[in-house]
Chain A
Amino acid sequence: MLKKIECFIQPFKLDEVKDALIESGVEGITVSDVRGFGKQRGFIKGEVPNKEVKFLPKVKLEIVVDEEIIDDVTKTIVRLAQTGEFGSGKIFILPVEDAIRIRTQESGINAIV
């Protein structure tokens, strides 16, 4: 079964996370620069929160992998993306019904590996 990971991490963690993910068997990553907020509504340590909501810059990684390696992949992200502060990010795991490689029409896991 294929799973999709959508994760949001601090931009300065990207390179380290990327290298480790490739090591753990990930075949492709899509990265976007995004802005967002979570439970802290965009306030960081030391700031006094008010009613405002601030969007902070993050990077979003989209990765499709076989469920066999999903635990390794999430552990790697958790380990490397931790900053010790609020705003380290989030990982979402989604089921993927199918995948198709456009060049060969291979489907499922064969479209990924």
Chain B
Amino acid sequence: MAQQNMWEMTLSRLDVIMSMLSLTEGMSKYLREPRKTIQVAIPVKMDNGKIEIFKGCRVQHNTNRGPAKGGIRYHQDVSLDEVKALAMLMTWKCAVVGIPFGGAKGGVIVDPYKISLSELEAITRRFIYEIIEDIGPEKDIPAPDVGTNAQVMAWIMDTYSMGKGYSVPGVVTGKPIALGGSQGREDATSRGAVYTLLSSLKVLSIDKMPLDAVVQGFGNVGSNCAKILFDIGHRIVAVSDVSGAIKNEKGINPYDVLSYMSKGNTLSSYPQAEQIDPKDLFGTRCDVLIPAALENQVTKDNAAQIKAKIVAEGANGPLTPEADVILNGNNVFIIPDILCNAGGVTVSYFEWVQGNLAYFWGKREVNLKLRDIMEKAFHDVYKCCIEKKVDMRTAASLIAVGRVAEAVTLRGIYP
């Protein structure tokens, strides 16, 4: 039910944007509908010898600006509607940063933590074999998502390459570096988020040094955001993860927290900070809040306590629509998810380019190119935000949907 709502919610938001852009009825119909939806049954011989059937799907929402791009998610709650919504969001995300991809998403209904590694491999290989004619470096390029990682991407690359008879590194991104993964992919989402954040300081004329930042979530995105901000001299005053939240107004060293956690400790027991109720995290006095955990974390119940001047959405959809209204009403500057966390797909694009060229860049080059793309995307969105007198989220969607609609118009309808 919740997933069905997500698709309907995505469509109703799209309708608002399309009417602001005054798109024709035909164009609106076109953009609402995914171009291709593939549903497959995935038979796997399990370790106990029995055959199980898993269900998988791949949705390619739009390919007008280039091949489809998007992750493959392994989760027990995956539904077709959720995958359709996520595929559409990928179309907008690629368009807002101006990289030449359309949007896609895939999913398999499975709890990857409840099956063995060999079963996981078998599911992956059979799933890819079932969709092998629909993916490829010039058609649709999968990437990691919830429940999948670099190893799964390596299996995808191998399965596809075996089917074609030659190695095709460009079929998938988020690969291990040894197989053609890009330098800088691991912290790309965080780095992109920090670049948009630093650009927002400029346009808001905030010249405070150091900034006080609160980071919600200490996984890949959250911990890397904390590290990057710490490295450029800013102060991390509070962080949280599933174990709880910690705070220290004098600053928390994220490297030290990670090394403490790597010894088997939980974040909440970190001794150089005060343990706080995770509910109070958002109320911590700070300049910048980075929600980098799950969806719908900031709600109508806690949005009003946020003291940050800027909220940078490291996670996807961390604010509920009601929270969005409250924060906008309080003049909080929100850097929306499709812009803020697009650094991941941008470096995926670099990985695809490098794989196709068979020529690989150093980390510094990747990061500088990422900064160029993120800063340009930020300024495009900010310009629209000022000119059209809308919030940043609406501006980002207007730019994204407008670019895709332009591509559809230019290409025309075949035949």
Contact = CB atoms under 8 A, between A and B. Distances in A.
Nearest to B371: A108
A8 to B, nearest CB: 29
Interface stretch (A20-28, A37-45, A73-81, A97-105): A97-105
A44 to B, nearest CB: 44
A106 B198 contact: yes
Contacts of A82: none
Given A110-B198, A113-B202, A105 B232 contact: yes
A1 interface: yes
Contacts of B201: 110
A97 B368 contact: yes
Given A97-B368, A98-B368, A104-B233, A110 B202 contact: yes
Interface residues of B, number: 12
Contact of B207 (A1, A104, A107, A109): A104
B198 to A, nearest CB: 6
Interface residues of A, number: 12
Given A97-B368, A98-B368, A105-B232, A110 B207 contact: no
A50 to B, nearest CB: 50
Contacts, number: 22
A1 B368 CA distance: 9
Interface in B225-281: 232-233
B209 A1 contact: no
Contacts of A98: 368
A98 B232 CA distance: 15
Contacts of A103: 209
A105 B372 contact: no
Nearest to A98: B368
A105 B368 contact: no
B119 interface: no
B199 interface: yes
Interface of A: 1, 97-98, 103-110, 113
Interface of B: 198-199, 201-202, 207, 209, 232-233, 368, 371-372, 375
Given A104-B207, A108-B368, 8 more contacts: A97-B368, A104-B209, A107-B232, A107-B371, A108-B371, A109-B375, A110-B202, A113-B202
17 contacts: A1-B372, A97-B368, A98-B368, A104-B209, A104-B233, A105-B232, A105-B233, A106-B198, A106-B232, A107-B232, A107-B371, A108-B368, A109-B375, A110-B198, A110-B199, A110-B201, A113-B202
